[in-house]
Structure 1
Amino acid sequence: MNFRKRQRREEPEINFVPLIDVMLVILIFVMATTTYSKFAELKINLPTANAEKPADSQPQSINVAVAANGQYSINNQLTGFTTVDDFALQLRKAAGGNADPMVVIDADAQSTHQSVVNVMEAARLAGYGKLTFATQSQTGK
C-alpha cells in the first residue's frame, strides 16, 4: 500500500535567456576582433598613353547597301551578281589593297533576310571578318 500522496513531478525547464546573452557577447566579440580584407585592394599599375591616334588607324570600310527590292550597291555603285562567289570577288575589288577592311551593311528595313545573309556570306568568302550594321535612330517618337 502506498500511503504517500502522489506528488506531481515537475518537468525541468530550459531557460534560454542566459543562452541568448552568451551568444550576443560572442557575436559582439567576433564583430569587434574580425578584420575584413577586400580583394579589390589588389594594386595594378595600368599603362597609359598620351599620344593621339593617327588618322590612318581607322580601317578602310566597304559600304554595302541592300535595297528593299533586292538591289545591292558597293560604295554607292549599283552592282549585280549571280552567285555569292561573284559578289565576294566584287568585294575584293572594292577593298583594293586593304587586307581586312570593315564591311558596313546598310540594309533597308523591308529587305529580305536572305539578301543580308548573302552579303555576310560573300564577306566570309572574301576573308573579311569585320562586319557591322548601319542603323539610324528614330526621331519624333
Structure 2
Amino acid sequence: MNFRRGHHRDEPEINLIPLIDVLLVILIFLMVTTTYQHYAEMQVNLPLGQGDVVKEKPRAVQVGIAADGRMTVNGHPLAAGDDKGLLDALRQVQADSEVVISADGKATHQSVVSVMEAARTAGLTRLTFATQAPRS
C-alpha cells in the first residue's frame, strides 16, 4: 500500500562540480611545481689533458692563437688572418719539427684549422695541441 500518492522519491544524483574543482586544483598544483628545461644552447665540457713527461723533446715550433685571432710563431707576432705570413713562417722550420698549437679557449675554430692547413701545406705532419693540466 502506498499511502503517499503523487509524492515521488527523488533519484540520487552524483554532483560532479566538486570533483571538477579538485581536479583543477591538482592540475594547477602540477603546473606550478613542474620545472621545464629549455635547451637553448649546447654546453660542451672539454676534457683536460694529462700525460707523461717526455724525456727527450723533439724540435718544436710553438704556434699561439689569441682569442681575437692574432697568432705568434715561436714568439714572433703575426696579424690576425695573415695566412701567408703563417705559411712562410712554418716553411722556415725543419721538416721533422713538431707543431705545438696553443689556442685560447675562446679562439675561433677557423683559426685553429688555418694553422693546421698551413702546417700541412708546409710539409709538417706532426701536430700537437697544448692543454692545461687540471687544477688540484
Range into which the TM-score falls when normalised by the shorter chain: 0.5 to 0.7
**Per-residue deviation at 1:82?**
5.5
Listed as ranges, the gaps of 5+ residues in structure 1 are 1-54
Aligned position for 1:71: 70
Q: 2:108 aligns with which of 92, 112, 123?
A: 112
Cα distance in 2 for residues equivalent to 1:81 and 1:91: 16
TM-score normalised to structure 2 length: 0.54
| 1:111 counterpart SS class | coil
Aligned position for 2:95: 99
Aligned position for 1:123: 119
**Per-residue deviation at 1:58?**
3.6
Aligned residue pair count: 82
| Matching of residue 139 in structure 1 with residue 129 in structure 2 | no
Query: Relative to total residues, which structure has the larger helix share, 1 or 2?
Result: 1
Listed as ranges, the gaps of 5+ residues in structure 2 are 1-54
Identity of aligned residues (%): 43
**Per-residue deviation at 1:85?**
4.1
Greater CA radius of gyration, 1 or 2? 1
Cα distance in 1 for residues equivalent to 2:102 and 2:70: 12
| Matching of residue 62 in structure 1 with residue 61 in structure 2 | yes
Aligned position for 1:88: 87
TM-score normalised to structure 1 length: 0.52
| 1:131 counterpart SS class | strand
Distance 1:81 1:92, change over 3 A: farther
Contact 1:64 1:105 in 2 (8 A): yes
Contact 1:84 1:121 in 2 (8 A): no
Contact 2:65 2:72 in 1 (8 A): yes
Moved over 4 A (4+): none
